[in-house]
Structure 1
Amino acid sequence: MAGWEEFAARAPRIAEIFTRRHAATGNLCMLATLRSDGFPRISPMEPRFFEGRLWLVGMPGTTKFRDLARDPRFCLHTATVDTQVTDGDAKLWGLARDVQDPALHQRFADDLFADTGLDLRDTAFDHFYDTELTGASAVEYAGGHLDITVWTPGQAERVIRKH
């Protein structure tokens, strides 16, 4: 498993595509979690980079956070509307870990307010999930072929070209 900075160092192409697509959609991604009956749940999510980590933080009491509390496995997919994937597309999967650290939460809220104007500085966070990545992939279409870049911990990125 790898935190964001370690992942980005080991899988720079996928990290670049993820961050570019994340920014292009106003930080919107789709989060996949597992419901209590075992079926997948897909939820919109605005993950944030903070202090070198990728965080899953949001509205309290949501089912996606109850899912992660019960089963920490997730998949995070950049929001895509282009069926030709001309700007790329990326998926990350791993485990979420709830970090209950009021000082960290305050720094995050201060940063969020400075960046977006959303004021959560006096808010207690029910769930504050850090991500540990266990795999990732990205696709790009270029020059008549599709490049699929894949990463798993302990290995370098590898590209599979489909014509």
Structure 2
Amino acid sequence: MTVNWAALTEAEPDFARTAEERFGAFTHHVLATLRKDGSPRTTGLEVRFLNGELWLGMMPDSLKALDLRRDPRFALQANPGEGQSMGGDVRIAGRAIEVEDPALRAAYTEEAEPPESSEPFHLFRTELTEVVRTYVEDDKYLVVQIWQPGRPLRTIKRT
């Protein structure tokens, strides 16, 4: 089962807000895609949360865009920043669906902050399969929160 970002926001608003804040702390994050031979490719990427969707924009014919056209599975990790990760580590997995509808692309370009260039680009909306947050609590516990569509947020705490 896959859903968009709005489904997570509706099901777990605090968790979704924490994830958005984590991604909002830095501009560049790490995207993992699959190459033709099935091996992983990691590259830098900017993301946007807009109108209930998590969007991935890419330069024309970039290798990551071509990877996603061939196999839409992806993993996305928030930039950990310098030293200890502020607010924990957030990872998102799912499928990236290319948006080719001119009206939807124009709306994305107009509503993005800062505004996107009108130059050619690939635009993907995401369908989520999992969002995970890992953080340290009280300098003692490793806490892992896992959300998957159709399931409640699970929290695992280890010493």
Fold in common (TM above 0.5): yes
Name the residue aligned to 2:124. Answer: 129
Instruction: State the 1:135 CA deviation.
Output: 1.0
TM-score (norm 2): 0.90
Contact 1:32-1:74 within 8 A present in 2 as well? yes
Name the residue aligned to 1:22. Answer: 23
- 1:1-163 equivalences under 5 Å are 1-26=2-27, 28-82=28-82, 84-112=84-112, 115-116=113-114, 118=116, 120-121=117-118, 123-125=119-121, 127-143=122-138, 144-163=140-159
Alpha carbons of structure 1 residues 54 and 137: separation in structure 2 relative to 1, 3 Å = same
Instruction: State the 1:17 CA deviation.
Output: 2.7
Identity over aligned residues, as a percent? Answer: 34
Contact 1:21-1:87 within 8 A present in 2 as well? yes
Alpha carbons of structure 1 residues 82 and 9: separation in structure 2 relative to 1, 3 Å = farther
**Structure 2: segments with no counterpart, 5+ residues:** none
Counterpart amino acid of residue 94 in structure 2: G
1:2 aligns to what SS in structure 2?
coil
Instruction: State the 1:84 CA deviation.
Output: 3.9
Counterpart CA distance in 2 for 1:161 and 1:55 is 31
Counterpart amino acid of residue 152 in structure 2: A
Number of residue pairs matched by the alignment: 157
Contact 2:129-2:149 within 8 A present in 1 as well? yes
**Structure 1: segments with no counterpart, 5+ residues:** none
Instruction: State the 1:19 CA deviation.
Output: 0.8
Instruction: State the 1:82 CA deviation.
Output: 4.9
Counterpart amino acid of residue 33 in structure 1: T
TM-score (norm 1): 0.88
RMSD value over aligned CA atoms?
Answer: 1.7
2:77 aligns to what SS in structure 1?
strand
